[in-house]
Structure 1
C-alpha cells in the first residue's frame, strides 16, 4: 500500500512526503511542547466564545501516573480537544492535591532514615521540610501527563495548599462556622494508631480478617449472663451490658448491677432496643469509648465513657495489662479470663470484616475523640435535590441511585486530622475556654493563653472546593464568572462518595445554590485483561509509561478509549495496545499512500454528478460517521465512538475506498483527480474525528496533508447532510460480491495473490461500472484462448465464471467439501430434533433455545454454500 501507483500521465511527485514508518518516540514529545509553547491549551476569560470547563481530578502530589489516571485523562482530553475544535473557550484545569496523610508519611519516612521524627524538628521546621520535598520530588505526575498528551492550561496549574486556595478554605470554614454548620464535639471516630490521626468513614478499607470470637461470662449464678466479643481487650472499658427490653430471659436482671471480670467495678444491665435478641446470646457488652454503637447506647442511658487504649493502641488502665499493645493485651486478657473460668466458648479463626487505614493498611481503632465536624444534613439535602430536579445529570443514569443512597444517609463529617501538613483549622482557643474562628482578612486574637487549634483539615475538605477555588473564589473574578459552573465532571464511580458529594455540597453552599457542574460522567476502574483488579500483590500492575515507550501514547489512549463504556470497569491487556499501535501504523501508511497518489484538500469538492458511485458512497458514509461521532460524544459513549471510527477508517476508507480507487488512480485523468480530491476530503475529516483520541499521529498526518497550522485549533467536522442511499446500496452489493468470491477462492485453497482467469457477465447490474476494480481486488485475469469454465458463481445478479484447471486438487477438494457438507447436514438434523421436541422447549432456558436456533441457521447457510461449491467444481 505504501508504493506509489505509476499513472501513465504522472509527472514528478510533488506531494508532501512522510517517512516510511511512524516512530512515536520521534514525534510525541517535541509535538506536545510545540502545542504548549503556542498556547493552544490556555483559556481566556475575556473571550466571547462559549465556555467549556473541566477540572482534573487532582492527583496526589505524592503520586505517579497509573493506568487509572491515563484512562481518565484520555477521556477528559478527548472531550476538551473536541470542544476546542468546535469553537468553545475550553479550560481543562490542572492541579494537584496536597494529600495530607500520604505526603506527611512520605516525609516522615525520609526523616526516619536520618534517625529523626517530626517531633525532633518541630511543627514549623517539619512543614518547611514538606514544602522542600514538594519542590524537589513532588508532582512528577505533571511530566507524565505531558507524555500522555494532556491538553491542560499549564499556566493555571493549582495546588490545594496555594495561597489562593488556602484563602478559599479559610473563607468557607468561617462561613460554615458562623452558620453553625461546623462544630466541635466528642464522638467515636476511626483512629489510625500508625498515622496517629482520625480518618473519615470513606477512607476506611474493610476486609475480612481472621480473628477470634470469645464468649465471656459476666456476673455470678442466676445473675450471670454471657456476651461475645472479637475485641476482648476493650472489656476493661465496659460500663454496661445491654439486652433488648422485650427479652424475657433477662427481665429479672434489667436495672441490676453485675461485676465486671478482672476489675473491681460493677456495671449496670440496661434495656435498649438497638440490641438484637436473636443474635448470639441476646446480651452485648457496652464500651462507649471504643465502639460507635456502644457510644450511642451510652448516650441514651447516661453511661460513663472509659478510654482504655491510647493513641497508639496501648492499654492505659492501671493493672497487669497496662502498657501492652492492643493485640498483646487481647491474648493476655483472654488467658486471664480463662484462668478465672470465665471463657464459655472460643472460635478461632473467626473471619469478620475489619476496618483498615486506606493509607497505611493498619487495623483501625474506634476511639472517642474531640474533633471538628460538619453538620451535613442541610448540605446533603441540597446536593440530592440538585440531581433530583435535573440541574445536574449523572451519567449513566442508573448510577444515580448510588448517589442518592449516599447523600440521603450521610452522617456528620469529621473534618479534623491530627497532622501537621495541611490546612490548619482557623480557630483560636482562649485561656478561659473562649473559641474564636478567624476569617482570611481577620486578625487572630493575641495575648497570653491564646493558641491556634493544632489540627488540620481533611484533604477532602479543600478538594471539595476545587471547581471554584481554582477560579479565584472567594473573589468575584472574571475566571469565576466565565468558567463556573464546570460543564462536566469526568471521574470514577468510586469517587461518588469521596469527592463528588463533597463538591456538590460545598459548591451549592458557597455559590448561592449554583451547581458546581452540569453533568457527572462516571467511568469504571481499569482492570487487567482477565477482569482482575490491578494490585501490586497480584503482580498485575502496569506502568502506562512502559507501554507508551514501546507502542506510543496514541496506542495507549486509543486502547483505553475503546474500553470506556460508561460506568463499567475496563479490562486491558498488552495485546490490545499492540493492536492499537497497528491501527496507528495503518493510518500512517494509508495516508502516506494517499499523499503519494494524488490525495489533496485543495479546491472545492466536485459536484455530485462528477463523482463516481464509490466517491459518493464514501462521502455519504463519512457524513453518517460524523453524526455518529457527535452523538457518541454527547452521550459519553467513548467505546462506541472509538469502535465506529476504527471500523470506518480501517475497513471502509483504507480497505475498501482506497482499494476500489486504485484502478482510478492508475488510469489517471480527470476521474483520478476527482477521486484524489474526495480521498483528501475523507482523510481530512477522518483525521479530525480521530484527533481528540489519538492526537499525535493525526496531527502529524493532517498538517502534512493540509498544510494547516494544527489540528488542535482546526474546526471540528460538521455533517453536511449529504447522503446517497443509492450509492451506498450499490457499493454494498459490490462489497458482497467481492467478499463472496474471496470466500470461494479461500475455500478452494487459492492463495490471496494467485491470479485466476475469469469471465464476468455483469450486464444488467450496476457492477458493470466496477469490473476493473473487481478484477484487481480479486486477482481475476481476462479469459484467454484456452479458457475453460470449471466454476460458476452467481453474485448480486451477475455471474463470474472461473477457470480453476490446474490450480486445485479437485478430488481432494471434493472429498473435503463432502465431509463438511455431511457435518452441516448432521447439525441440522440434531437441531431440528431438539426444536421439534415440545418437552425440551418447555424446560430449556430461552438463551439455550436461541443458541440452537442460531446453530441451525448457520448450518443451513453452510449447506447452501457447500452445495454450491461442490456443484461448481470441475469433474475430476
Structure 2
C-alpha cells in the first residue's frame, strides 16, 4: 500500500474520474440514475447530500453502539426514491444540464472545492475567494496525506498508543476529539458554515501548522507513526461529507478495511478516554512560548529559520521544566538554531518580557545569516520609496482636494504605519552593526 508515493500536486479531476463510479455501488439492486438539477438548485442539492452523508455514517455509528435500530432500506428512501440518488454524487462534468458557469468552476477548482465552498456560505454562485480557500484546504490536506504515505510503513495499528504517546500527540488527540463532538452538533443542526470553519482551523492550523511540524522529529517512533495514521483517517472521516473524493483516496491509501466505501463506516464520535488535561496545558504553554519567539523575530524582520541564539529566562519551575524537556521542539517550531535557559545577557540583544518568561535574541554576526542584513536593507529601501511617494501625494494640495476624505485619512494612516515600520528596521540594523559587548566578545 505504501510502496509508491503520491504525486506532489493533487489532481482533483483524476480523483473524480477514479472514484466517481464508486458511488453507484452504494446499492447495486437499485443503481443510481441521474437526476435533472437546474443550476439554481445545485447549492440546495449539495447541502442535502452533505447532511445525508453525515446522517448515514452517524446512523451506522449509533447502531454499532446500540443507540439506534438496525439499518433498513426505508432509511434510504423518501417517497419511494433513493435519498442518495443525486447526480452530484457523480462527477459534475457528467451532468448534461449543468450551466457553463458550473462547468467552468468544476474544471478550475474540482468537485471537492466546489462542495466545500458552497457549504461555507449559502448562495450561488460561490465567489472566487471562497473557491480558492476551499481548494487551498484540499491541497493542504493532500500534502498531509503525502507526508503520511512517505513515513508510514503500512503495519501500524489503526488506534493510537495512548501509553507511549507524547504530549503533542495527546494534545492533538484531545483537540481532534472535541472537534468531532462539535462537528456532530453542527451537522445535526444543519450549521454547515460553522462545521467548515472548524475543519479549516483544524487542518490548516492544528494539523499542518503544529502537529505534523512537531512530529517530524519523532516520526521514527512507532507510536508517533501509529498516531499519524489514526489522525489522518479520523480527519478524513470528518471531511468526507464535504470532500468525498480526496477523503476516499485517503481511506484507500491508509485503511485496511475490506469495505471500500467511506459511507459504509461509522462517523467518529466523542471518546472520553481521549481527554488529557495535563498534557494539553503543557502544550498550550509551549505554543505560547513559540508564538512569542516568532512574534519577536517577525517584529524585527528576522526570517525563520535563522542561525540565531535565543536565551529564555523564567522563575517558574514548571516553565523551566517545560523548556528543558522540549528544547528541540522549540528550536524546530520557532525556526532557530540554538536555545538555552539562562539569565538575560548583557549587551546588544532584542528582548521581550512577559509574565511567565523573558526572551532574548543575541544579534551576534557569527551566528546570524547575512540574508538578514540584506533583507533589512531591502525592506528599508522599499519603505523609503513608498514614504516619499505618499508624502508627495499628501503634499499636493490640488490632488488632495480631488479625492475623498476617507481616502486621504486612510493614506495618512498608512504613512504613519510605514514610518514606524522603517524606524524598527533602522533600529534592528543598528543592533546588527553596533560594537559587541565584552561578554559577547569573550564568547
Q: Distance in 2 between matches of 1:600 and 1:727?
A: 28
Q: Distance in 1 between matches of 2:28 and 2:324?
A: 52
Matched residue, 1:792: 351
Q: Please point out which of 137, 143, 165 is paired with 1:611.
A: 165
Deviation at 1:628, TM superposition (A): 0.4
Matched residue, 2:361: 802
Matched residue, 2:277: 725
TM-score w.r.t. the length of structure 2 is 0.69
Total equivalences in the alignment = 353
Q: Please point out which of 26, 30, 33 is paired with 1:39.
A: 26
Matched residue, 1:646: 200
Provide structure 1 residue ranges, at least 5 long, that are not aligned to the other structure: 1-12, 45-55, 97-140, 151-540, 820-858
Q: Please point out which of 771, 774, 777 is paired with 2:333.
A: 777
Provide structure 2 residue ranges, at least 5 long, that are not aligned to the other structure: 61-70, 341-345, 384-416, 435-443
Deviation at 1:544, TM superposition (A): 1.6
1:556 aligns with 2:114: yes
1:130-158 Cα offsets, whole Å, 9 max, x none, are xxxxxxxxxxx9766622499xxxxxxxx
Deviation at 1:93, TM superposition (A): 5.6
Asked whether the equivalents of residues 600 and 680 of structure 1 are also in contact (C-alpha less than 8 Å), the reply is: no
1:81 aligns with 2:43: no
Deviation at 1:791, TM superposition (A): 2.2
Q: Distance in 2 between matches of 1:595 and 1:560?
A: 30
Asked whether the equivalents of residues 753 and 779 of structure 1 are also in contact (C-alpha less than 8 Å), the reply is: yes
1:704-755 Cα offsets, whole Å, 9 max, x none, are 0113322121221111122122222222222222122112211211223333
1:67-87 Cα offsets, whole Å, 9 max, x none, are x33211221111221222232
Matched residue, 1:751: 303
Deviation at 1:592, TM superposition (A): 0.9
Deviation at 1:542, TM superposition (A): 6.5
| Greater share of strand | 1
1:98-133 Cα offsets, whole Å, 9 max, x none, are xxxxxxxxxxxxxxxxxxxxxxxxxxxxxxxxxxxx
**Distance of aligned partners of 1:809 and 1:636 in 2 relative to their CA distance in 1, 3 Å threshold:** same
Q: Distance in 1 between matches of 2:28 and 2:189?
A: 24
Q: Distance in 2 between matches of 1:712 and 1:728?
A: 32
| Greater share of helix | 2
Matched residue, 2:184: 630
Asked whether the equivalents of residues 790 and 874 of structure 1 are also in contact (C-alpha less than 8 Å), the reply is: no
Asked whether the equivalents of residues 626 and 719 of structure 1 are also in contact (C-alpha less than 8 Å), the reply is: yes
Q: Please point out which of 574, 579, 585 is paired with 2:133.
A: 579
Q: Distance in 2 between matches of 1:660 and 1:712?
A: 32
Q: Give the SS at the match of 1:559.
A: helix
The within-5 A match list for 1:676-715 is: 676-708=225-257, 709-715=260-266
Q: Distance in 2 between matches of 1:147 and 1:578?
A: 19
Asked whether the equivalents of residues 555 and 581 of structure 1 are also in contact (C-alpha less than 8 Å), the reply is: yes
**Distance of aligned partners of 1:41 and 1:633 in 2 relative to their CA distance in 1, 3 Å threshold:** farther
Q: Distance in 1 between matches of 2:249 and 2:48?
A: 22
Whose relative contact order is higher, 1 or 2, with alpha carbons under 8 Å and at least 6 apart? 2
Deviation at 1:773, TM superposition (A): 1.3
Q: Please point out which of 90, 108, 115 is paired with 1:146.
A: 90
Q: Give the SS at the match of 2:20.
A: helix
**Distance of aligned partners of 1:630 and 1:142 in 2 relative to their CA distance in 1, 3 Å threshold:** closer
TM-score w.r.t. the length of structure 1 is 0.36
Asked whether the equivalents of residues 17 and 596 of structure 1 are also in contact (C-alpha less than 8 Å), the reply is: yes
Matched residue, 1:221: none
Q: Distance in 1 between matches of 2:269 and 2:4?
A: 26
Q: Give the SS at the match of 1:755.
A: strand
Deviation at 1:795, TM superposition (A): 5.9
The within-5 A match list for 1:24-103 is: 24-36=12-24, 38-40=25-27, 65-66=38-39, 68-86=40-58, 87=60, 88-89=71-72, 90-91=75-76
**Aligned-pair Cα RMSD in Å:** 4.0
Q: Please point out which of 224, 240, 249 is paired with 1:675.
A: 224
Q: Give the SS at the match of 1:636.
A: coil
**Distance of aligned partners of 1:731 and 1:767 in 2 relative to their CA distance in 1, 3 Å threshold:** same
Matched residue, 1:243: none
Q: Distance in 2 between matches of 1:578 and 1:95?
A: 39
1:312-365 Cα offsets, whole Å, 9 max, x none, are xxxxxxxxxxxxxxxxxxxxxxxxxxxxxxxxxxxxxxxxxxxxxxxxxxxxxx
**Distance of aligned partners of 1:41 and 1:77 in 2 relative to their CA distance in 1, 3 Å threshold:** farther
Q: Distance in 2 between matches of 1:545 and 1:719?
A: 39
1:19 aligns with 2:4: no
Asked whether the equivalents of residues 600 and 677 of structure 1 are also in contact (C-alpha less than 8 Å), the reply is: no
Q: Distance in 1 between matches of 2:279 and 2:29?
A: 44
Structure 1 stretches (4+) deviating beyond 6 angstroms?
A: 41-44
Deviation at 1:658, TM superposition (A): 0.4
**Distance of aligned partners of 1:577 and 1:631 in 2 relative to their CA distance in 1, 3 Å threshold:** same
Asked whether the equivalents of residues 309 and 336 of structure 2 are also in contact (C-alpha less than 8 Å), the reply is: yes
1:603-644 Cα offsets, whole Å, 9 max, x none, are 364553422110110111111011001100111000001110
1:457-495 Cα offsets, whole Å, 9 max, x none, are xxxxxxxxxxxxxxxxxxxxxxxxxxxxxxxxxxxxxxx
**Distance of aligned partners of 1:144 and 1:731 in 2 relative to their CA distance in 1, 3 Å threshold:** closer
Q: Please point out which of 286, 291, 312 is paired with 1:734.
A: 286
Deviation at 1:781, TM superposition (A): 1.4
Asked whether the equivalents of residues 2 and 253 of structure 2 are also in contact (C-alpha less than 8 Å), the reply is: no
Matched residue, 1:186: none
Q: Which has the larger radius of gyration?
A: 1
Asked whether the equivalents of residues 80 and 92 of structure 1 are also in contact (C-alpha less than 8 Å), the reply is: no
